[in-house]
């Protein structure tokens, strides 16, 4: 069957993924702050009308209640998809997320599963300041029992979300809020971006750029500028941080022998450091130069737009780091 694609915004692609999963499986339902009204950023628009209040529910402003309710609901046989409006607010629910949701299947000896898909709005370029602009994926990749996914295009957003909802394990899905208005071609049919499989966004032989999430469009813009200067980048969008597609990284390095890791999160202890460690342990002989990183500066994300742009990775910083490598 040939997929029929149409242009959707990133937010619409997320809503389309939710609708596909809910039509496919009556156990899937969504809840969170204002989701019945369409969500704070519009991703759940129209779902209440189609699926009704039993499967599209508003909650109090309490992330610990949202996460805790999701654990119990999953253990009783449903497949909940809670929304945490900004990933920063996950700090309010860390016990439920990392001590209950992540560990329950292990603690029960496999006698129960916790198929929860936690949607987290993430990242900067919103003018939302230090408490609403963070990328905290490294917190959750550190935790056994959780899977972590991130997408940077509308098409990937739908496929990643469907794959996460179908999976029997708890998954944190990062949705970059700054990309919600951006548009892309999205197939109508349900489809997956398979768990643990990266996506090559661009072919090149001079260096490998590994990235994910909200920075992906900037990396691709940087790759185009590099091509104008005769440098061809192999751009690998991880999609899934955990499980990590290490084989795809090593396969790219076998061709390029140079690695640049780009992410929006803070540089220190960011997930990029884990990629550097992985390559050092499994592919050191493939490298002609030390791995470079471009990341957010280690300061709170500012409110003022010029300062926010300075703190978060720019196309110019990515280009310069790539030129220094290549």
Q: In the 8-state DSSP scheme, what is residue 62? A: -
pLDDT score for 228? 98
- Which residues are within 8 A (CB) of 153 and not within 5 positions of it... i.e. 6 or more apart? 10, 179, 184, 216, 217
Distance between CA 73 and CA 67 in Å, rounded? 10
Over the chain, what is the mean pLDDT? 97
2 pLDDT exceeds 70?
no
pLDDT in tens, 243-273: 999 999 999 999 999 999 999 999 999 999 9
First to last CA, the chain: 42
pLDDT in tens, 286-309: 999 999 999 999 999 999 999 999
Distance between CA 10 and CA 30 in Å, rounded? 18
- How many other CB atoms sit within 10 Å of the CB of residue 143? 18
Active site (annotated) includes residue 132: yes
Q: Are 35 and 56 in contact (CB under 8 A)?
A: yes
Spell out the alpha helix ranges (H) of the chain: 10-24, 47-51, 63-75, 94, 104-107, 137-141, 154-166, 216-228, 246-256, 271-282, 305-311, 315-325
Instruction: Give me 295's structure tokens.
Output: 């990341």
Choose the catalytic residue: 83, 86, 132, 308.
132
φ and ψ at residue 285, rounded to 5 degrees: -70, -15
pLDDT score for 308? 97
pLDDT in tens, 193-237: 999 999 999 999 999 999 999 999 999 999 999 999 999 999 999
Active site (annotated) includes residue 63: yes
Q: How far is CA 321 from CA 24, 232, 314, in A?
A: 45, 14, 11
pLDDT score for 4? 87
Choose the catalytic residue: 63, 83, 137, 155.
63
């Amino acid at each position: 069957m040939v997929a029929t694609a149409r242009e959707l915004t990133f937010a619409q692609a997320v809503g389309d993924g939710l609708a596909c999963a809910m039509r496919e499986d009556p156990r899937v339902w969504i809840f969170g702050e204002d989701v019945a009204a369409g969500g704070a950023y519009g991703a759940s628009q129209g779902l209440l009308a189609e699926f009704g209040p039993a499967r599209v529910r508003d909650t109090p402003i309490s992330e610990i209640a949202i996460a805790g309710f999701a654990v119990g609901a999953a253990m009783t046989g449903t497949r909940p998809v809670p929304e945490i409006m900004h990933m920063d607010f996950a700090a309010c629910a860390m016990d439920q997320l990392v001590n209950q949701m992540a560990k329950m299947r292990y603690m029960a000896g496999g006698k129960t599963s916790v198929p929860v898909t936690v949607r987290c709005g993430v990242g900067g370029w919103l003018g939302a300041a230090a408490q609403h602009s963070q990328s905290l994926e490294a917190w959750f990749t550190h935790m056994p029992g959780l899977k972590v996914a991130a997408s940077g295009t509308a098409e990937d957003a739908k496929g990643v979300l469907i794959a996460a909802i179908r999976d029997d394990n708890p998954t944190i899905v990062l949705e970059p809020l700054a990309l919600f208005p951006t548009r892309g071609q999205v197939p109508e049919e349900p489809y997956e971006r398979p768990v643990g499989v990266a996506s090559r966004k661009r072919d090149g032989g001079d260096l490998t750029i590994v990235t994910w999430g909200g920075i992906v469009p900037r990396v691709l813009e940087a790759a185009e500028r590099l091509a104008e200067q005769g440098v061809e980048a192999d751009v690998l969008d991880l999609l899934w941080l955990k499980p990590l597609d290490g084989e795809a990284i090593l396969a790219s390095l076998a061709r390029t022998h140079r690695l640049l890791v780009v992410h929006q999160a803070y540089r220190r202890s960011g997930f990029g450091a884990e990629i550097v460690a992985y390559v050092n342990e499994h592919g050191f002989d493939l490298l002609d130069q030390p791995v470079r990183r471009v990341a957010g500066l280690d300061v709170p994300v500012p409110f003022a737009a010029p300062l926010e742009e300075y703190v978060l990775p720019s196309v110019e910083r990515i280009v310069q780091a790539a030129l220094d490598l290549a």
